[in-house]
Amino acid sequence: MIEWMKDDPKTVRELVEWLVTSIHEGVWLPKTRLPPERSLADQFGLNRSTVATAYLELQARGLVDRRQGSGTYVRDDLWGITPDWPRYLEQAAFRPLAPLARKIAETRQRRDILDFSDGNIGPEVWPVESMQRLLAGVDLNEVLGFGHPLGLPALRETVSSEIKRNLNVKVDPESLLITAGAQQALYLLARGLLHPGDSIAIEKPSFYYSQALFQSCGVRLLPIPMDKDGVLPDALKELVRKHRPAMVWLNPTYHNPTGVTLNLERRQAVVAICNAWNLPIVEDDTFAHLQVAGTPKVPSPLFRLAEQSSVLYVGSLSKVVAPGLRIGWVAGPRAIITRLAEIRSQIDSGTPGLVQGLAAAFLSSPGWQSHRRTVSQALRQRRDAFAHSLSTFAARGATWTVPAGGLHFWLKLGGAMPDELRVETAVNSGVTYAPGRLYGAEDGFARLNYVRLSPTEAALGIARLAEAITGGPPHSTRSHI
């Protein structure tokens, strides 16, 4: 990944120096191509001719080969005898991030960017003070060893009580595995229970990393279409009948990226279909706690509606507390959970005990309930301010539904610009966001985090973004749902 320097190169000499360092650090491996002149020029706000001159200088120094019509490549023999790294990378099981995802991840690191793409509540809402206090009280004797393969018993007890209190489902702490975030739970499930060539039914669009993960695991995705009430049961039924997926994988509450919640009637229909075909369900409930104050309670989870033995229930503290904790969990039949724990122990011997101790202390402190109220209120305030600022987008033909929970607005944009170009122009105007293509949607959708930035920053970012990505001047009529 390209490191963002404190001072971007401004002259040919500085650019050459930056390129030489980057090549020696292996940013681009022997045999691989340097960025096209145009994109490097855009990255640093330079003329294309400055980049062309710098590339010629690299050639003169024997670092690169220039190939007519193909680009500028780091020389094969640059490091003497080297393993064929590009081949290793090409043939590895895990796929690289999509170029658009990489671009957004890199852009996010810039301090001068207003970032709507990140999926977290942001430092202003993190419960920093109470966690700081609780951290001092964590009993190090309890947490400095390797710990229980399923995770710290005290944390499993508190997560189990939370599940009982919030969902009215009884989960034995021995049937609960603490993971490094929900994402690792998804990874363990994919690795532990699916085979290359299997297919799963999953919402379209869906969470970016789950898509990337399944592709890396050789699992085919059968997209279930959605509308404003979640997945369409009839479409699921048809898809199951035709393709016999190995599992149904859903994020039914405040779905990422659309923010939609599957309604009760459809939840019951989904459960009935899965029961009829004996299909396990993975319920990814990562956004469960993110209800906007004053909105209707979400329907019962599939975990409660279905036979508990057929649902693998995934949760996380990343969204409601902070993603850097890397605390998630998966609950399900004991034998499955035990197997997932065994896979996990082959990977990393468990989530750091100190973090688990801190999470357990926080979830059992009075601060947890007050934090939940704070989050819910903050979501309300920021969502409403954001909705107000979005009128700029409405004037340009974008439409959306105001979310009742989760962290995002999901906008259908006007115009026919491809997502890559929209992201490019957004970044050039100092803003980044998550385009629909990342989630498997068609081009022309935008997921915007409404809570991380202050209302003033958000309003500024929205104004810039609307100008950059809607591909046209404001319309005189306004329409938004």
Ligand X SMILES: Cc1ncc(COP(=O)(O)O)c(C=O)c1O
The footprint of ligand X (CB under 6 A) covers 119, 181-183, 207, 251, 256, 284, 286, 316, 318, 323, 328
Residue closer to ligand X, measured from CB, 219 or 466: 219
| CA distances (Å), origin 302, targets 239, 240, 308 | 19, 18, 9
Shortest distance in whole angstroms from residue 150 CB to ligand X: 17
Residue closer to ligand X, measured from CB, 284 or 419: 284
136, 130 in Cβ contact below 8 A? Answer: no
Q: Whole-angstrom Cα distance, residue 419 to residue 103?
A: 12
Q: Is 187 left (phi over 0), alpha (psi -120 to 50) or beta?
A: alpha
Residue closer to ligand X, measured from CB, 58 or 182: 182
Shortest distance in whole angstroms from residue 258 CB to ligand X: 11
Shortest distance in whole angstroms from residue 88 CB to ligand X: 27
Residue closer to ligand X, measured from CB, 397 or 440: 440
The bridge status of strand 220-224 relative to strand 199-203 is parallel
Q: What is the identity of the amino acid at 268?
A: Q
Shortest distance in whole angstroms from residue 216 CB to ligand X: 16
Rg of the chain, C-alpha, whole Å: 24
Shortest distance in whole angstroms from residue 183 CB to ligand X: 3
Residue closer to ligand X, measured from CB, 251 or 365: 251
Shortest distance in whole angstroms from residue 408 CB to ligand X: 9
Q: What is the identity of the amino acid at 312?
A: L
Residue closer to ligand X, measured from CB, 286 or 432: 286
Nearest to 380 by CA among 121, 116, 119, 163: 121
**Number of H helices and number of E strands within the chain?**
19, 16
Which residue sits closest to ligand X, CB atoms considered?
181
Residue closer to ligand X, measured from CB, 72 or 253: 253
Shortest distance in whole angstroms from residue 56 CB to ligand X: 44
What are the residue ranges of helices labelled H in 205-333?
Answer: 208-216, 233-243, 264-276, 302-305
100, 222 in Cβ contact below 8 A? Answer: no
